[in-house]
Amino acid sequence: MTPKSAYHHGDLRAQLIAAVRELVETHGPDGFSVAEAARRAGVSSAAPYKHFKDRHEILRGVVSEAMDRLRIAMEDGAAAHPIASLEAIAAVGQAYVDFARTEPGVFRLVFSLTEGHENAPDLLAKGANCFGVVVHAVARRLDLRPDDPDVQRRAYMLWSFVHGHSFLTIDMKHKVASAEIDDWSYLMTISRAILAAA
């Protein structure tokens, strides 16, 4: 743990991930280089390859960690409201949007891993878990089982919606869509509409 020796400073993997997260956040998903990350961690540019096979694997590490945080935020959002309430559903969406607003770079990264990341079952699983939070909230609200097709359909609708809004909101920080949008009332409206739709 404690970097006694300067060699083997004991915590490189985590420090690299942190450095990359910062780089991605400030310079965008492409403005990252393993060389710069190594520099920031105070090691040689070859050191990272003792912990990661690829630059891709480092990115996957960042994404994995980010998805954990996202899921927790969503769960916390739901937990802050009465079970089966509409608010609980909207709060899950709010957590999602908040995450995108707070860390747009990382948020983008999470959804841009396409090449070189084909086989990443753990990431797929974590994605499914995030979706699961939505499903769970919807199931509670409708008093149905989570695997009910209707629940799945509505949850997916909600997710599309929140996902799209999140992306649009960070893309056009300088307003394209006329006015500012009040997330909460927006999310409540949508949640209501989707739960009521045929």
Partner DNA sequence: AATACATGTGAGGGTTGTTAACTTTACCGC
Partner DNA sequence: GCGGTAAAGTTAACAACCCTCACATGTATT
Q: Among residues 50, 82, 145, 196, which is the contact residue for a second copy, using CB under 8 A?
A: 196
* Helix pair angle (121-142, 86-102), 10° resolution: 150
Site for DNA in 53-82 (CB under 7 A): 53-56
Q: Among residues 26, 45, 112, 160, which is the contact residue for DNA, using CB under 7 A?
A: 45
39 is an interface residue for a second copy by CB under 8 A = no
Minimum distance, C-beta of residue 155 to a second copy, in the bound complex (Å):
8
Distance (Å, rounded) from C-alpha 71 to C-alpha 131? 9
- Looking at the Cβ atoms of 49 and 161, the one nearer to DNA is 49
Question: Among the candidate windows 42-50, 70-78, 139-147, 161-169, which touches DNA by CB under 7 A?
Answer: 42-50
147 is written with which tokens? 């695997």
What is the CA angle 101-162-142, rounded to 5?
A: 135
Minimum distance, C-beta of residue 26 to DNA, in the bound complex (Å):
14
Distance linking the first and last C-alpha atoms of the chain: 56
Residues touching a second copy, count (CB under 8 A): 46
Site for a second copy in 126-145 (CB under 8 A): 127-128, 131
DSSP 57: H
DSSP 33: -
Q: Among residues 9, 40, 101, 163, which is the contact residue for a second copy, using CB under 8 A?
A: 163
Question: Among the candidate windows 9-17, 35-43, 77-85, 101-109, which touches a second copy by CB under 8 A?
Answer: 101-109
121 is an interface residue for a second copy by CB under 8 A = no
Is-contact 2 10, C-beta < 8 A? yes
The length of the chain, given as a count of residues? 198
- Looking at the Cβ atoms of 43 and 138, the one nearer to a second copy is 138
Sign of the CA dihedral running 56, 121, 136, 192? positive
CA-closest candidate to residue 92, choices 188, 197, 194, 193: 188
Contacts with DNA, residue ranges (CB under 7 A): 4-10, 12, 32-36, 43-47, 49-51, 53-56
